């Protein structure tokens, strides 16, 4: 979703609630150019140490 800066200013609190509920990204524009975006924050919970790298390592069995 894109919204002009003036409209964002008028509806800021409602848009923040909307992003919180829907996890939707809102791009704020000024004179038609994107200048900022409003996003849902990730949880600040630390990831567990065990399994942290799962899915990031590739095993190669045939080297030559």
HSE-up of 33 (CA within 13 Å, CB side)? Answer: 2
Domains contained in the chain, CATH given: 2-38 (3.40.1620)
pLDDT at res. 63: 66
- For residue 30, the model assigns a pLDDT of 96
Residues of the chain with pLDDT under 50: none
**DSSP letters for 16-58:** HHHHHHH---EEEEETTEEEEEE-PPPP-PPPPSTTTTTTT--
């Amino acid at each position: 979703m894109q919204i002009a800066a003036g409209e964002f200013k008028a509806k800021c609190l409602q848009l923040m609630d909307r992003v919180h509920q829907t996890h939707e990204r809102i791009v704020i524009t000024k004179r038609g150019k994107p200048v900022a975006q409003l996003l849902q924050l990730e949880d600040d919970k630390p990831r567990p140490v065990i399994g942290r790298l799962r899915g990031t390592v590739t095993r190669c069995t045939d080297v030559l």
